[in-house]
Structure 1
Amino acid sequence: MFERMAELAIRRYRLVLIVAVLAVALMGVVGAGAFDKLKGGGFDDPASPSTRATKVIDEKFGGETNLVLLVRSPDGRIDTAASKESGRALVADLKKEKRLSNVVSYWETNSPDLRSKDGREAMVLAHVRGDATEQRENAREILDTYSGTYKGTLTVQAGGGAAVGADLSKQVVDDLILAEAIAIPLTLVLLLFVFGSVVAALLPLAIALIAVMGSFAQLFLLGSVTDVADTATNLTTALGLGLGIDYALLMVSRFREQLAAGVNVDDAVRRTVHTAGRTVAFSAATVAAALAALLVFPQYFLRSFGFAGVGVVAIAALSTLFVMPALLKVLGHRVNSGRLPWTKSQRSDAQEPLWGRLARTVMRRPALTALPVLAVLLFAASPLLNITFGTPDERVLPKDAESRQVSKVLRETFGGSEDSALRIAIDQSVDAAPLASYAGRLSALKGVKRVETSMGIYTEGQSAATGPANSALGRPDAQQISVVSSLTPKSDAAQSLVEQVRSVTPPPGTHPLVGGTDAVLVDAKDSIADRLPLAVTLVVLTTFLLLFLFTGSIVQPLRALLLNLVSLGATLGVMTWIFQDGNLSSSLGFTAQPMEVSMTVLMFCIAFGLSMDYEVFVTSRIKELHDHGADNETAVVNGLGHTGRIVSAAACLLAVSFFAFGTAKLSFMQMFGLGSGLAVLLDAIAVRGVLVPAAMRLLGHTAWYAPGFLRRLHMRYGLSEGGPEPTSAPVPVPVPAAPTHTKDSTRV
């Protein structure tokens, strides 16, 4: 297969490049409409009780409250005649909006729960119609019309789930634009530094451009057939840019190495595809396998990252395997053109002395060098012992976001908010007496302030003396119950209340469904916890199988999995220390809160896949040397000597793509960017530089062990990096370096 790829690039390079240009143009046209196809939200399990409760309320009652308008009067009192007149006029205008339903206000109900404790503010509650995407657009239009000053007499601010969603979707685009504006120039500078040649530095950016354009095109296509979260643009852009550069960097480096060894251009292309091309293919397979595990989760936030992530990895790999060889064929020795004046004159294939010396030092004293690194990584992972999980809310937004400011006022100045209440849906008829008894039991629960039903309001286990019944909560074939608590939303106590509400004996013959923000959090955690073992199992098995096919050893995959878990634990521990415990919150400008459960799973899968990416980079060269007869120590030292600089450069370039999202205003995107970037650097430096050579030294010959029947299986179906040697310039078998040497000049 790789031989045919090489010959295609050599013999039909013009055709390949023409097709590539046309494909990029087509992807650009298609991808331009990607943002119109993407949706907000996606954090809920469609089969969970909370989601089913929302569906019943939408179908039978016109939807639950997801928009809260906080209204203030300029004279400081909301009950003055002028304020009442303006308030009723505002409500009348809102009820004319086809995008809204269930508009309820203080001026109509005179409910004290819709007025602040100091009487300065009042609430208008409403439901924004449509699915997640339509709600986002409708809410934005409503906010543009009514936020600010209303008829010069009232000040209106918007909060609630729909307003938060609208602010989130806008911030995602702003964060993406800023991240790209930072990442692309920095990447170009780093590429110039790595290659020392303008032409060579531009080649990885060409592949990255194809990957990014392809990612937006596939988002458009995916969004046309299934739900795709709008935040998927951030992942696909970072992955497309980073992996495109990583894979192209490996190919260009190997090609320049072959040219420096005296191989002609055609044979250099063949050898590059046979070796680096195989590495790219296996690397892409391992990353795709890790991301594909996200497809087992029912939340389309995670599934969309699975679809989009696998797609962008495939695009980056295919463009590297087909387009890059054609570019190298066209350029030939001109790949080194545009050499920068500060670049030292050196051979392109020279091993990096630092990495060779580091590997040799570690292999001499594996325990002495590896144990301190392991200790630091395990200490960094220790915050995981106290990790807690949550789901996104208004606190992920900047502090100056209007929807976040409204939520803060609602918590501080109102006695429990309808927006954060638990919503109980009973999708059948219920007699008055059992319904009243059920509401009374609910109101007696600790932390419950009131329970609202079509029969009236209940507090402390009995019907309240004041407060009118809300007939809109009842239908002949369904009932809705609102449980308003004084508990902090998404706190442990609020989540415990969800379980208590679900355990209360319902009216005979009924099956209440409990929804609301706290119920959504409980269900999301349960849903992900149920499927997480399957996802981890799939990642481990597919990774083990791919690494076995690549190395022919059962020890190498186990070693890789264990070391990757250590570095991943350290990464997640540091993120917990920062984003949950609040360290560096003032510097990064976020509000500490529990780790976002979906984003944590996503970061684990991405970081795991990228760790295996560099595992393949390093192991491929070590195995090639081992297959040519080098002993274990020489193979590791020379393998890291050849790949260390490439891996460290690739890690820095990929980390830049991710760290750029550290400038995001959304805290969970900050966590994703900083965590993924840290994982890449930890893996490239601590794991590849120290732990891998230490483990290989301790394992010795057993590092390549496999039972006889598996060796035969690998000989028949496995793939190795080494391909046919070019006839024009055979590559000599490396000779073991003397232990006292500080610079290894062995060539591969």
Structure 2
Amino acid sequence: MIVIWVGIAAVLSRFALHLEDTLQVAARVPGSESDAARRAQSELPAGDAEYAVLVARGIDPRSTTRDAGRLDSLVAAIRTVPLVTAVRAYQGAGDSLLLGDGGTVVLAVLPPVEELPHGAIPLLRDCTRPLAARWAADGVTLRWTGEQALNYDLRRASARDASVAERRALPVTAVILVLAFGTIVAASLPVLVGLLTIVCALGAAGLVGRALPLSLLLQSVVTMIGLGVGIDYGLLMVSRFREAREAGMSRGEAGAVVASRGTRTILLSGMAVMVGFAGLLAVPLEELRSVGFGGLVAVAFAVALATTLLPRLLVLLGPALDWWRLRTPSPVSAGAWQRWGRWVTSRPVAVMVVAGLPLLWLAWHATRLRVRTPRENWLPASLESVAGTEDLRAMGLAALLQRVRVVVRLPDHGDVLSQQGWAAVREVSALLLADRRIEAVVSFARFDSERPPSRLTFAGTPRRARDAYLSEDRRTVLLDAIPTEQATPDVMTAFVGDLRHSLRARPADARDVLVGGLPAFQLDYSKRVAGYLPRVVLFVLAGTFVALGVGLRSVLIPAKA
């Protein structure tokens, strides 16, 4: 058994080392309206449904030829990145959205989110870092931000912080185990189980991630759950083995007792925990599914290691468990715990009130839980994408990240240059402009005239504007609703909800109207989580009840639990 686990750990460790290459940092809500709008934008000739934003402060291409040359250098450098499908930068009056106070913005158009690799944002930062260093003396700063950059930075920061926390907690845990067992050898076994659990679970995730999409959040979940549960189960098995040895059993007999009694306890506990994580697999969001998968795999490996490898190690070590003794533990006598148990069971009502009231008070706060977009300034200021967002705000371009992207699809019998098609798109544009939360609407044309432009006038429209906002058959039109500078993320999320409600009575000449963009994604994400929460809770309660009922062969005990 020991040889088998060494082989498993050796194989899976290779996949664990390359895990980050298979994990995704992007987020989406499959099957939602925002996802459908994103896909529709990707079909435009120069659609930029997925993009990263380079904020260049200190560069004003209108002021000097030097700044114009610097902007050209940025565009040329970004185009060398293989993942970039197009680059949008300021070229004239039609690109005013990309020009702010004291700086400009460059958009790097990226592949669809499901095809976006983990290293896309680092590649973009690497290509502009030499230019940033060269121009820093002139007060120029280059920072990448946008939805994809924020997702990448947040998940990387989360994984890094979790790793730091684990490195700090591991020595403290080791000290506690040494104090509990009194010897270094006995204390090291639970830690060994925890570390092996992490390696095997991360390796399994790396293997599965080659075929199925998994989020970068999985790393933090696996390391935290794997270390905690692995040490917990290892502690139980080592304690049972030492108790059996102190009772006069041989190491073979003690190993048999541990394998029979300890295994049943750990299997029962592991089943209950795995049911909880399995409930998240039912939520059609890659982040939550990744959390569920990571927790499920980590607990499964912790159970397997504690019930197969650890008993063999305990029997093999035998008296060696007491090597390197640092202290002689003085455990609390069984009589003290028996007296405590009798005291509790003799006063059930009083104990229930004293212990239950604080729990009820904490549970009551769950009714105040609201799934919504966090308020401003909640992100770590040290992240480049967060600093870039602050630069956008200082330049008066914060609305760029919060624009609402409305896709209007026209029926097959008419395009946007027909009277019916033009009227349908114009009606949607007017609806957007009528809301005081919207500053302007940007598209390939201004829809302020009742009649569509002539074919000759349309031919004079800049090619880049047509490709970015109009499909080749002229039946799919993109409208960018630019919010006011005062509109917060919460305000824009509420606007999307109001807009969708108003669009239920869609123009008769429009086949479909889809509302997308970052605010729409945030609304869809919140609704998806809130919609599945009751089902997940019900599944976890029912699954845990069944697991405990089968394991304990009782109905009353699982109900109390």
Q: TM-score range by the shorter chain?
A: 0.7 to 0.9
- Which residue does the alignment assign to 1:442? 432
Percent of aligned pairs sharing the same letter? 26
Matched, 1:248 2:225: no
- Which residue does the alignment assign to 2:41? 57
Query: Once the two structures are superposed, what CA deviation does each residue of 1:47-92 show, in whole Å capped at 9, x if it has no partner?
Result: 1110111112123243226322222227x99634433343344335
User: Residue 455 of structure 1: SS of its match in structure 2?
Assistant: coil
Q: How far 1:550 moved relative to its partner?
A: 2.6
Report the CA distance shift for 1:186/1:222 in structure 2 as closer, same or farther (over 3 A).
Answer: same
Distance 1:403 1:263 in 2: 61
Distance 1:393 1:163 in 2: 19
Query: Once the two structures are superposed, what CA deviation does each residue of 1:346-392 show, in whole Å capped at 9, x if it has no partner?
Result: 69xx5383x44443333233333332332223333444343222368
Contact map agreement 1:284 1:313 (CA 8 A) in 2: yes
Q: How far 1:315 moved relative to its partner?
A: 1.0
- Which residue does the alignment assign to 2:121? 139
Contact map agreement 2:190 2:232 (CA 8 A) in 1: yes
Q: Which amino acid aligns with 1:17?
A: I
1:484 to 482, 485, 495: 482
Matched, 1:103 2:87: yes
Distance 2:115 2:510 in 1: 36
Q: How far 1:223 moved relative to its partner?
A: 0.3
- Which residue does the alignment assign to 1:269? 255
- Which residue does the alignment assign to 1:575? none
1:45 to 13, 25, 29: 29
2:308 to 313, 322, 336: 322
- Which residue does the alignment assign to 1:376? 358
User: Residue 483 of structure 1: SS of its match in structure 2?
Assistant: strand
Distance 1:213 1:65 in 2: 34
Q: How far 1:131 moved relative to its partner?
A: 3.3
2:441 to 451, 454, 470: 451
Report the CA distance shift for 1:182/1:352 in structure 2 as closer, same or farther (over 3 A).
Answer: farther
Q: Which amino acid aligns with 1:337?
A: W
1:309 to 285, 288, 295: 295
1:629-648 residue pairs with structure 2 within 5 A?
none
Contact map agreement 1:113 1:416 (CA 8 A) in 2: no
Query: Once the two structures are superposed, what CA deviation does each residue of 1:372-419 show, in whole Å capped at 9, x if it has no partner?
Result: 332223333444343222368996642122210121232354155222
1:209-224 residue pairs with structure 2 within 5 A?
209-224=195-210
User: Residue 149 of structure 1: SS of its match in structure 2?
Assistant: helix
Matched, 1:149 2:132: yes
Distance 1:96 1:477 in 2: 33
Query: Once the two structures are superposed, what CA deviation does each residue of 1:123-179 show, in whole Å capped at 9, x if it has no partner?
Result: 223323353573542222122222463763643222112322332354344334323
Distance 1:528 1:346 in 2: 46
Distance 1:172 1:82 in 2: 40
TM-score after normalising by structure 2? 0.86
- Which residue does the alignment assign to 1:697? none
1:357-506 residue pairs with structure 2 within 5 A?
357-390=339-372, 397-414=379-396, 417-428=399-410, 429-430=415-416, 431-456=421-446, 470-471=465-466, 472-475=468-471, 476-486=474-484, 488-491=487-490, 493-502=491-500, 503-504=502-503, 505-506=505-506
1:537-576 residue pairs with structure 2 within 5 A?
537-560=538-561
Quote the RMSD (CA, aligned, Å): 2.9
Report the CA distance shift for 1:91/1:224 in structure 2 as closer, same or farther (over 3 A).
Answer: closer
Distance 2:297 2:38 in 1: 32
Query: Once the two structures are superposed, what CA deviation does each residue of 1:597-617 show, in whole Å capped at 9, x if it has no partner?
Result: xxxxxxxxxxxxxxxxxxxxx
Aligned residues: 529
Q: How far 1:458 moved relative to its partner?
A: 6.7
1:279-294 residue pairs with structure 2 within 5 A?
279-294=265-280
Contact map agreement 2:406 2:513 (CA 8 A) in 1: yes
Distance 1:150 1:440 in 2: 46
Contact map agreement 1:416 1:485 (CA 8 A) in 2: no
1:206 to 192, 202, 212: 192
Report the CA distance shift for 1:366/1:425 in structure 2 as closer, same or farther (over 3 A).
Answer: same
Query: Once the two structures are superposed, what CA deviation does each residue of 1:223-254 show, in whole Å capped at 9, x if it has no partner?
Result: 01101111201111111111111111111111
- Which residue does the alignment assign to 1:72? 57
Report the CA distance shift for 1:95/1:145 in structure 2 as closer, same or farther (over 3 A).
Answer: closer
Contact map agreement 1:104 1:125 (CA 8 A) in 2: yes
TM-score after normalising by structure 1? 0.66
Report the CA distance shift for 1:192/1:72 in structure 2 as closer, same or farther (over 3 A).
Answer: same
Structure 1 unmatched ranges of 5 or more: 1-15, 561-748
- Which residue does the alignment assign to 1:87? 71
Query: Once the two structures are superposed, what CA deviation does each residue of 1:607-629 show, in whole Å capped at 9, x if it has no partner?
Result: xxxxxxxxxxxxxxxxxxxxxxx
Q: Which amino acid aligns with 2:483?
A: S
Q: Which amino acid aligns with 1:495?
A: T
- Which residue does the alignment assign to 2:525? 524
Distance 1:166 1:346 in 2: 48
Report the CA distance shift for 1:78/1:195 in structure 2 as closer, same or farther (over 3 A).
Answer: farther
Contact map agreement 1:57 1:64 (CA 8 A) in 2: yes
Structure 2 unmatched ranges of 5 or more: 454-460
Distance 1:541 1:529 in 2: 19
Query: Once the two structures are superposed, what CA deviation does each residue of 1:260-318 show, in whole Å capped at 9, x if it has no partner?
Result: 12223222222222211100011111111111111111111111222222122111111
Q: Which amino acid aligns with 1:324?
A: L
Contact map agreement 1:78 1:121 (CA 8 A) in 2: no
Contact map agreement 1:67 1:126 (CA 8 A) in 2: yes
Distance 2:305 2:80 in 1: 53
- Which residue does the alignment assign to 2:456? none
- Which residue does the alignment assign to 1:228? 214
